């Protein structure tokens, strides 16, 4: 195929639109809360805007750098090692709400689990590119491929952060399947992981409460079912066209985390069904263009890298929107490009920069 001159404009444009919508909705969802906590309604959106500038700068720079530069052991292994180290350092930090998800240096803070996700995709793309012929070799291929993922998942579960661990597991499974791994290995892995998943869901009280609240939120509408009920109220009251930008009511100390985990509920309330479908449509565009780049790439490394980046984005978006619509239990996963969170926004935009560079190679 002929080398294309520019990057995928659809992918680039959809990303920019999502970032702009995200900044507007973060302001809408957080203005009252920010005024109450910090004395300024712009506190959250200013921070998010700074991260957006940094992230967009990284995206533009990375889409100019040949993705082949990452296809080296002296890039891949340090990325994995640094990710593991940062995940371990998080446990030395003071906990926040009994979790160790953040590394803090004064006013600066970031989540190492966000860095672990692209590091995992990079490792799998590098490792699997030349292993498709031996993908059935459990000891020589499958186990070494899964080992970094297992380490990441174990450390992330210890934080604890089950949602991000499931994203890592899902991306690993999909990339191994893309490499041609037999479904029986995925079935064996699922069976082996079942006792751990059972323990994490039903032997940890607060997760078990979430499961029961998801199954029957009306049994405790002012307690454990409050999050789900308020989210559905926000979605349901939006109607077709919504109440209007900034005019939502559920964010006024009813809807939990309206600027992070439940920002899609605020979008549905203020922009209505039309706005919600537009957001989903933009993610469909991102997913289609990303998968298209993966399918059309002749370079196996590029194919795996594009697929992994796109799969990570789509899995996160699926989980977040599904939680808001009460289709799955609460996971604590942000909506890419839209939810408040500097680390997530920066890393996702940087990943899109790599993906955009790959699109230069396809027609």
Q: What is the pLDDT of residue 300?
A: 96
Tell me the C-alpha distance between 1 and 3, whole Å.
6
**CA-based angle 157:166:76, to the nearest 5?**
85
Q: Does the predicted TM-score (pTM) go above 0.85? A: yes
160-189 as b/e, with b when 16 or more CB fall inside 10 Å? bbbbbbbbbbbbbbbbbebbebeeebeeeb
Contact 328, 170 (CB under 8 A): no
Tell me the C-alpha distance between 49 and 42, whole Å.
10
Is pLDDT above 90 for 223?
Answer: no
Is pLDDT above 60 for 2?
Answer: no
Q: Check residues 125 and 3 and name the one with the higher pLDDT.
A: 125
Confidence of residue 74 (pLDDT cuts 50, 70, 90): very high
Q: What is the pLDDT of residue 97?
A: 66
Q: What is the pLDDT of residue 4?
A: 57
Positive or negative CA dihedral for 130, 133, 136, 139?
negative
Q: Mean pLDDT score of the chain, rounded to an integer? A: 92
Domains of the chain, residue spans: 9-359
Query: H or E stretch including 179?
Result: none
Tell me the C-alpha distance between 101 and 137, whole Å.
35
Is pLDDT above 80 for 106?
Answer: no
- Please name every residue paired with 110 in a beta bridge, in sequence order, or none if there are none: 103
H-assigned helices in 104-255: 112-128, 143-158, 162-178, 183-202, 205-215, 226-237
Is pLDDT above 80 for 238?
Answer: yes
Tell me the C-alpha distance between 302 and 330, whole Å.
34
Per-residue pLDDT tens for 271-287?
999 999 999 999 999 99
Confidence of residue 308 (pLDDT cuts 50, 70, 90): very high
Name residues whose C-beta falls within 8 Å of residue 350's C-beta, 6 or more positions apart in sequence. Answer: 55, 58, 59, 62, 118
- Please name every residue paired with 105 in a beta bridge, in sequence order, or none if there are none: 108
The Cβ-side half-sphere exposure at 150, using a 13 Å CA radius, reads 10
Is pLDDT above 90 for 330?
Answer: no
Tell me the C-alpha distance between 105 and 83, whole Å.
17
Region 216-238: what's the mean pLDDT?
89
Nearest to 63 by CA among 22, 9, 119, 17: 9
Q: What is the CA radius of gyration of the chain?
A: 20
Q: What is the pLDDT of residue 337?
A: 97
Region 204-225: what's the mean pLDDT?
85
């Amino acid at each position: 195929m002929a080398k294309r001159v520019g990057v995928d404009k659809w992918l680039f444009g959809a990303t920019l639109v999502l970032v702009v919508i995200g900044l507007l909705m973060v302001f809408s969802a957080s203005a009252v809360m920010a005024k109450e906590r910090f004395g300024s309604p712009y506190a959250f959106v200013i921070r998010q805007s700074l991260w957006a500038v940094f992230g967009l700068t990284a995206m533009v720079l990375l889409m100019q750098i040949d993705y082949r530069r990452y296809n080296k052991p002296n890039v891949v292994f340090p990325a994995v090692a640094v990710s593991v180290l940062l995940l371990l350092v998080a446990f030395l930090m003071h906990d926040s709400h009994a979790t160790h998800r953040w590394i803090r240096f004064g006013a600066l803070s970031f989540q190492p689990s966000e860095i672990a996700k692209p590091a995992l995709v990079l490792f799998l793309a590098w490792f699997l590119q030349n292993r498709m012929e031996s993908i059935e070799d459990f000891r020589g291929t499958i186990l070494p491929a899964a080992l970094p993922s297992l380490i990441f998942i174990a450390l992330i579960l210890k934080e604890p952060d089950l949602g991000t661990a499931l994203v890592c597991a899902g991306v690993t499974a999909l990339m191994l399947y893309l490499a041609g791994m037999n479904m029986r290995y995925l079935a064996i892995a699922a069976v082996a992981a079942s006792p751990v998943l059972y323990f994490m869901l039903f032997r940890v009280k607060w997760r078990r409460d979430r499961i029961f609240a998801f199954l029957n939120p009306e049994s405790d509408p002012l307690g454990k079912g409050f999050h789900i009920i308020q989210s559905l109220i926000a979605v349901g009251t939006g109607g077709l066209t919504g109440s209007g930008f900034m005019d939502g009511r559920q964010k006024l100390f009813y809807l939990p985390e309206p600027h992070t985990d439940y920002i899609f509920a605020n979008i549905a309330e203020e922009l209505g069904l039309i706005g919600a479908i537009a957001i989903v449509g933009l993610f469909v565009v991102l997913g289609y263009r990303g998968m298209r780049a993966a399918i059309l790439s002749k370079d196996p490394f590029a194919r795996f890298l594009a697929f992994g980046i796109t799969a990570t984005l789509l899995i996160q978006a699926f989980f977040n929107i599904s939680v808001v619509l009460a289709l799955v239990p609460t996971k604590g996963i942000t909506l890419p490009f839209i939810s408040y969170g500097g680390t997530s926004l920066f890393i996702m935009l940087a990943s899109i920069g790599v993906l955009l560079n790959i699109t230069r190679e396809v027609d």
